[in-house]
Chains A and B, each alone.
Chain A
Amino acid sequence: MPAPVRRKLIFACLSLAALALVLAGTAFAGAGRGIPPADSPNAGGIQDLYLVVLIVTGVIFVIVEGALILFIVRFRGRGRARTAEGPQIRGHTRLELIWTAIPALILAAIIAVVFYKLPGIQDVPAAGAAGPRMTIQVEGRQFYWRYTYPNGAVSINQLVVPAQRPIYLVITAPSYDVIHSWWVPQLAGKMDAIPGKVNHTWFEADREGIYQGQCAEFCGIEHAMMLTQVRAVSNSEYESWAARQLQVSQDIGKMTFLGACAPCHGMQGQGVIGPALKGNATLANPQQLATLLANGKGKMPPVGKGWTPHELASLVAYLKTEFVSGG
């Protein structure tokens, strides 16, 4: 290859590299588009920290990658002989001390900001605009989330809460289950649901609405299907919903089916990993079904262990209309 052509090629390659790095840089700076808006004070606090670290690392990124590209362009061979040496500089103690101390100071500053912001992220307020704190028990199970409310009501996968009230979550998993992680990014960071350990986190939804989340710790074959949703509603709507949840109903049955059964047996009960439900003899026999749900069998985990009688009754009623009596 003649030298001028090669030089042009090298230039082309370098400008391509520069372009790639600049693009990566802007994408990094614009990474905020990746984060959904924070709708809870603790998620907001985390987002503030994220922005602080983003700015600091963004500046470092530009300096380091900029110097790299600058040096590549400035100190390229330019027709010098391959054997020509650069100045034999072995180091510079003061310079090296400076670039050891500055990063250390920057990191110390980040650490200080973290501890300054931490109470706002970690501490659960006693009350919000719409009322006092409320405690909800969260259980991660293969492959659904089970929420127990103060009045004893239970819901599967969908957590219904009053907006603008601090919701204190007590998170665990049954001792025979595996580790899961509760995560609804718009409301709070994740917290693991660990068998034999009780963890806590909280959120306070700024507004009424629906927030999506899903299990973040790999928990087995249908980990990807272990979704959850937080529905924030008004106080009065919450009260009437919670009262309704105490009755046996097709709605509860359907919710239980979709959360606990459908990941393995299919949304229409057509069978995926587990067998098809239609015409399945066990479904017609509530006693047998209860035993199966409580103990599991083969690959089927004990999904229904510890369920309340009305959850069970609701599911039986729903399965009966859907899969037994020709529905």
Chain B
Amino acid sequence: MAVRAEPVYPVPWYRGRFTSWITTVDHKRIGILYLITCLVFFGAGGILAVLMRTQLAETNEKFLSAEHYNEVMTVHGLTMVFLVIVPILAGFGNFLVPLMIGAKDVAFPRLNALSYWLFLFAGVVLYASFFADGGAAQTGWTLYPPLSEQYAGNGVDLAILALHILTVSSLVGAINFIVTIHRMRAPGMTWMRVPLFVWTVDVYAWILVIVLPALSAGLTLLLLDRQAGTHFFQPNEGGNALLFQHVFWFFGHPEVYVMILPVMGIISEIIPVFSRKPIFGYTAVAFSTVAIGFYSLLVWAHHMFTVGLATPLLGFFMISSMIIAVPTGIKILNWLATTWRGNLIFDTPMLFALGFIALFTIGGLSGIFLATFPIDWQAQDSYFVVAHLHYVLFGGSMFGIFGGLYYWWPKMFGRKLDETLGKWHFWLLFIGFNLTFFPQHLLGLAGMPRRIYTYSRGGWETDNMISTVGSYVMGAAILVFVVNVIWTRRRAGVRAGNDPWLGDTLEWYTTSPPPPDNFEKVPYVTSARPLRDLRKRLETRGA
């Protein structure tokens, strides 16, 4: 009697005991750990954001006290930068880089695990600081002295500790990415055949290696001032308050590009696949990444246009900041050209990618206002800056990150996220985002400074109210995403198969989810689109 065999799937990597997750050195599991942890921190940081918007909905609101608002504002910024966007991109890099370059794992799997666990520990330290003596840091995420040296409690010390741990974590991770990308590519994968996402992760890692030591140094001096009686940043004892700003932004501005470049990589993967075309100008997109990475090291003082810099310095940093707009513009035009005459397929990943182009363009253009230093004298430290940075980091980074999650979810978990819920997620987020942040441009120009816990001046109420309502719409969008994840996990859904989107790159060659060693055999790479090459070869053979 014939028994029909059940189709055999390799044991998914996510099945296994809890301890197997604690001890894992598999890049895919570590990548997933990163992604999940970052999404949890994203939820926490998002709740803090909604608290702030609620406080600012009306004049003289008493929802939060000044102290609580300042803590929430500080931890929101630290969370979104250091515990969400930078590490979630490390998560994508972890899961994808070895798969995309046809490797079995990263170069140093144990260091990779170290890097994740340090990151998690740092996050716990930062959130534990809410319970410290004196509460969490109330300094803004920039931790400027002398203010940050004035607080007696331990909030600032714990924030410094968290960032110190994160620097080690990121540095280890970055070196791991660099060695992996430079040494472990599949046969035939020359630099001009490396997937664009991998290009951006490489530049991301190089920038981190160059600038993280500056942050470590600055934080160490700050800690010494606070705890060891030194006076590096205390003017009354001969120190220099501005020194910290230079050190911080020498790290901080490249950090902005660390947060956007891999997302541009994600966009450069999604747009061609859902346009059924190759990326327009592969070389230009790849080298503009390197150019942005290089120029990001030369623009830091545009965060300091109001500290009283000499005019030649103002001019230099304006020009260098404007120059960086050129490679950024190249990317946007290349993505647009990629969609031209394509067969556009509006699945959720593509919606987020197109949303990224729409919103990041606005963030890029408002950046030109800020780079023009006389305009910056008005816009600096106002809500205009808040709007700009959210258009870049939320409209840009987070939209790209969501696009990436929808795109690679089937590869990670074997099933696609639900498309209908995905579209609800996108549209609510797109509308809510613009409601929240567009009016903030106007508030900033009207004179509303950032980081104020309340206001009584007239004329700011309407835009603030619109902004708060928008933040609730964004909250609803995120809830739709959570429902989508749970729904996809629970239902006995259809398996996505190896290559649900007709992808271009090697990760779609292996099973979904991939087996522990990723590939049984890696095909010889003949172009930047090895999977399409393979499909074409099969077609001709079939014909």
A residues bordering B, Cβ < 8 Å?
Answer: 10, 13, 16-17, 20-21, 24, 27-28, 31, 33-36, 43, 45-46, 49-50, 53-54, 56-57, 60-61, 64-65, 67-68, 71-72, 75-77, 80, 82-92, 95-96, 99-100, 103-104, 107, 110-111, 114-115, 117-118, 121-122, 175-179, 181, 183, 185, 188-192, 194-197, 199-200, 212-224, 273
Question: A191 to B306, Cβ gap below 8 A?
Answer: yes
Given known A-B contacts A88-B278, A191-B308, A216-B449, A49 and B341 have beta carbons under 8 A apart: no
Query: A10 contacts which chain B residues (CB < 8 A)?
Result: 346
Residue B210 at the chain A interface, CB threshold 8 Å: no
Contacting residue for A90 out of B278, B333, B381, CB 8 A: B278
Q: List 22 A-B contacts (CB under 8 A).
A: A28-B362, A34-B442, A36-B447, A49-B372, A50-B378, A82-B345, A85-B277, A86-B275, A86-B342, A89-B341, A100-B326, A103-B329, A110-B372, A114-B374, A183-B381, A185-B445, A190-B378, A197-B307, A212-B447, A214-B449, A216-B381, A218-B381
- Mostly, the B contact residues are helix
Question: B375 to A224, Cβ gap below 8 A?
Answer: no
Residue B330 at the chain A interface, CB threshold 8 Å: yes
Question: B354 to A72, Cβ gap below 8 A?
Answer: yes
Question: B441 to A71, Cβ gap below 8 A?
Answer: no
- Most chain A CB neighbours (cut-off 10 Å) among B241, B326, B337, B378: B378
Segment from B89-97, B430-438, B483-491, B515-523 that makes contact with A: B430-438
Question: A46 to B147, Cβ gap below 8 A?
Answer: no
Measured between alpha carbons, how far is A88 from B338 in the docked complex, in Å? Answer: 10
Question: A91 to B282, Cβ gap below 8 A?
Answer: yes
Residue B22 at the chain A interface, CB threshold 8 Å: no
Q: Mark B443-468, 1 if CB is under 8 A from A, else 0.
A: 11111011111110100000000000
Measured between alpha carbons, how far is A176 from B70 in the docked complex, in Å? Answer: 22
Q: Which of B354-368 contact A (CB under 8 A)?
A: 354, 357-358, 361-362, 365-366, 368
Residue B334 at the chain A interface, CB threshold 8 Å: yes
Segment from B11-19, B25-33, B136-144, B171-179 that makes contact with A: B136-144
Residue B66 at the chain A interface, CB threshold 8 Å: yes
Residue B236 at the chain A interface, CB threshold 8 Å: yes
Contacting residue for A20 out of B278, B342, B373, B431, CB 8 A: B431
Residue B79 at the chain A interface, CB threshold 8 Å: no
Residue B340 at the chain A interface, CB threshold 8 Å: yes
Query: A217 contacts which chain B residues (CB < 8 A)?
Result: 144, 306, 381
Category for how many chain B residues contact A: 35 or more
B residues bordering A, Cβ < 8 Å?
Answer: 66-67, 70, 138-140, 144, 146-147, 150, 235-236, 239-242, 275-278, 280-284, 306-308, 311, 315, 318-319, 322-323, 325-326, 329-330, 332-334, 336-337, 339-346, 354, 357-358, 361-362, 365-366, 368-369, 372-378, 380-382, 423, 427, 430-431, 434, 438, 441-447, 449-455, 457, 502
Contacting residue for B322 out of A82, A88, A111, CB 8 A: A111
Query: B322 contacts which chain A residues (CB < 8 A)?
Result: 107, 110-111
Contacting residue for B280 out of A17, A24, A90, A222, CB 8 A: A90
Question: B307 to A111, Cβ gap below 8 A?
Answer: no
Query: A82 contacts which chain B residues (CB < 8 A)?
Result: 343, 345, 502
Measured between alpha carbons, how far is A224 from B306 in the docked complex, in Å? Answer: 19
Residue of A whose beta carbon sits closest to that of B532: A85
Residue of B whose beta carbon sits closest to that of A272: B66
Residue of A whose beta carbon sits closest to that of B307: A192
State the Cβ distance, B245 to closest chain A Cβ, in Å.
9
Contacting residue for B354 out of A35, A68, A183, CB 8 A: A68
Query: B441 contacts which chain A residues (CB < 8 A)?
Result: 28, 31, 34
Query: A46 contacts which chain B residues (CB < 8 A)?
Result: 374-375, 377-378
Residue of B whose beta carbon sits closest to that of A215: B449
Question: A77 to B326, Cβ gap below 8 A?
Answer: no
Query: B308 contacts which chain A residues (CB < 8 A)?
Result: 191-192, 194, 197, 199-200
Measured between alpha carbons, how far is A10 from B339 in the docked complex, in Å? Answer: 17
